[in-house]
Amino acid sequence: MSLLNREVFWPPADELVEVAERIRARLGEWPAAETRWRICLTAPESPKAGDLIVFTEPHDADTERLASGGAAVLEAHGARVTLRRGDERFALEGQWSDDWLAALAAFLDCNFEPHDALVLALAWRAGDENKDDAWPVDFATFPRVTDLPPAPDGGFQSCPDRLGLYPVLPSAEWIERVLDLGVRTAQLRRKTNDVAGLPREIARSVDAGRRHDAQLFINDHWREAIAAGAYGVHLGQEDVQTADLSAIARAGLRLGLSTHGYYEMLRALHFGPSYLALGAVFPTTTKVMPTRPQGLARLARYVQLLSGRVPLVAIGGIDAQALPGVLATGVGSAAVVRAVTEAPDTASAVSALQQMFSGQC
């Protein structure tokens, strides 16, 4: 857990390292960082992978050259911070403490990606290390994501704060089968090249949802979901750039958004979604994930920050064995796939999973 005896800042900055060490000591046990980031307080002649180059004053440096070879560039001017890493750009606004660079080193050491470590560092306040729980959990201190399109006027319809068991299913036949077993939240995630048959599958699923008075979400296919009058749609982060969120809101559909860490949660909240999906909690084989598994410790911190602000759904690799630990974080819903679709006895599996939610208020 020690930051000492290795190059954390370049040029060396003993005072910053000492503050970073104090902060890190109060953050608890986290997996060892996969990348040993070096925070460069001045631009090195030959940037390398793992360099995070920081500019706190206007400059004329060639940031594209500096960001080549795996380095990242962070510019903090006024109330705005921009992080560039490869082709990705992360823009934040807010107020931060004088200790933010030391906090950044500490959160990087907790194995957070630079954009998520940056969010936490900007939310850190001097003196937080003296609290019983030093982790940033006051939403008011967190920065906001900038350079986003406006959220739809009027926002999205709300959904229950606790959506409970949330099977994600591949067909209308599966939707009907599971809703018949008493499940009241489900998602159709239809991955198919059968474009002609897709509207029929969605309409059939939506009809089943209406018969059971269930919250039926459609994954990705928002146009067809609107046409069928679905309860809601679920979109990924990349879909926010291409989907007509205003059309979804005008149609009265709920919106669920996938997130994979602090930055994406703040970005998603800008659009006022009906719920946030937090994942992937564990490794999953049902789809290729853009980020490493989050784990229960991170999930618990996400729930602590966002509970009561927006309904939350844990997702990714959750089965009957893992579900009690997931629910212990306080999250109000958990999405499952193979725990239902690959169960030897669907009815027994659904009943057992439902029972695990019965103790939640």
Q: Give the β-pairing of 88-93 and 275-279.
A: unpaired
Angle formed by the axes of helices 346-357 and 172-180, nearest 10°: 60
Check whether 189 is labelled as a binding-site residue.
yes
Check whether 259 is labelled as a binding-site residue.
no
Quote the tokens at residue 241.
């750039």
Tokens 């030959």 belong to: 46
Question: What are the backbone angles phi and psi of residue 249, rounded to the nearest 5°?
Answer: -65, -45
Distance between CA atoms of residues 169 and 162, nearest Å: 19
3-state secondary structure 103-124: HHHHHHHCCCCHHHHHHHHHHC
Provide the β-strand partners of residue 51: 38
Check whether 188 is labelled as a binding-site residue.
yes
Check whether 285 is labelled as a binding-site residue.
yes
Of the candidates 180, 32, 13, which has an alpha carbon nearest to the alpha carbon of residue 24?
32
Per this entry, what is the length of the chain?
A: 361
Check whether 111 is labelled as a binding-site residue.
no
Check whether 185 is labelled as a binding-site residue.
no
Distance between CA atoms of residues 110 and 121, nearest Å: 12
Check whether 99 is labelled as a binding-site residue.
no
Check whether 4 is labelled as a binding-site residue.
no
Check whether 287 is labelled as a binding-site residue.
yes
Check whether 190 is labelled as a binding-site residue.
yes
Check whether 191 is labelled as a binding-site residue.
yes
DSSP letter string, 115-175: HHHHHHHHH--TTGGGSSS-S---GGGS-EE-S-PPPPTT------S--EEEEEESSHHHH
* CA-based torsion, 334, 310, 185, 338: positive or negative: negative
Binding-site members for Mg(2+) are: 220, 239
Binding-site members are: 187-191, 219-220, 239, 258, 284-287, 317
